[in-house]
Structure 1
Amino acid sequence: MHIFTYGSLMFPEIWQRVVRGNYLSATATLSDHARYALADDTYPGMVAQADAVVQGVIYYDVTPQDVAALDQFEGSEYRRQNVDVVIESGETLIACTYIFLAEQRLSSLPWEPQAFQMSRFIGTYCSDKMGG
């Protein structure tokens, strides 16, 4: 199964702390969705929104074991769902992504990958997986 990531998991430093496998990846675009900063945290939430576009990363052929690890990492505030993403070649692929369910926690501000506070995120959410 392909996985489309749009937040912390776009960064190899985070992705490799969650999954065990090594996967090919590429930039990808998801239409009719928007990514917002959370009012009280470092990571984003993505929701369906007409005429919006989210840039992210697709990881190819993720194993069921690693999908289970991603499900656990994302937790109950996210639901895995199939979406159509477009890769750089223009080809459309079906991938799974994680839709944010706790919309009341979203701010009105877009989440910007270049402003991601990786060290804070790793210290908060990945400290038990350091070195693994």
Structure 2
Amino acid sequence: MASAFFYGTLMSDDVLLRVLCGPYATPDIKQQKKDALQLRPASLIGHQRFALKGLPFPGIIRTKSEDQVRGILCEGLNANDVMRLDEFEGPEYDRSTAAAMVDGQRVPCQVYLWIGGEQHLESHDWELEGFVKGALVDWLKDRSEFNMSDTLDI
């Protein structure tokens, strides 16, 4: 089983379960998947999160050791989940090894780093609350956001 640190749209249960379960999953299937995962508040030290110009999701990059990003550690991911996450994140992100801080402990995990170019970074942080209140509902309806991970539904 794999672990990943999420710092953006995947912190939303709605987005996470849409990616991991696909577009046609029943509420029961989504609940089973959620029950199989352990989600805990976590921080990633030595990284900084940025809003992306014209996009509703963020990116993080490695920075100075005193920088940190708050997010969640998702444990219990299987190989199919990781494959779906890789497809969802796309070529602008690189899955990399990291260590999240959870309750003062370093926990090995994967994280998707932004590699799409620093020219796309805003000068401010991205906020989950603004995404949930503003873009989430319409974004979930936009199948193009999930095209790559949906191709795995066979």
TM-score, length basis structure 2: 0.78
Alignment correspondent of 1:63: 78
Q: Percent identity?
A: 28
Q: Secondary structure at the match of 1:108?
A: coil
Runs of 4 or more off by more than 4 Å in structure 1?
126-129
Alignment correspondent of 1:43: 57
Alignment correspondent of 2:30: none
Q: Secondary structure at the match of 2:55?
A: coil
Does the alignment pair 1:109 with 2:124?
yes
Query: Which structure has more helix as a fraction of its residues?
Result: 2
Q: CA shift at 1:92, angstroms?
A: 1.0
User: Would you say the 8 A contact 2:20–2:85 is kept in 1?
Assistant: yes
Does the alignment pair 1:8 with 2:9?
yes
Partner of residue 108 from structure 2, selected from 67, 70, 94: 94
Alignment correspondent of 2:137: 119
CA distance in 2, matches of 1:39, 1:123: 21
Partner of residue 73 from structure 1, selected from 68, 88, 100: 88
CA distance in 1, matches of 2:141, 2:73: 25
Segment of structure 1 superposing worse, 15-24 or 93-102: 15-24
Q: Secondary structure at the match of 2:72?
A: strand
Q: CA shift at 1:16, angstroms?
A: 0.2
Query: Which structure has more strand as a fraction of its residues?
Result: 1
Instruction: Structure 2: give runs of 5+ residues left out of the alignment.
Output: 22-32
TM-score, length basis structure 1: 0.90
User: Would you say the 8 A contact 2:50–2:59 is kept in 1?
Assistant: yes
CA distance in 2, matches of 1:4, 1:79: 13
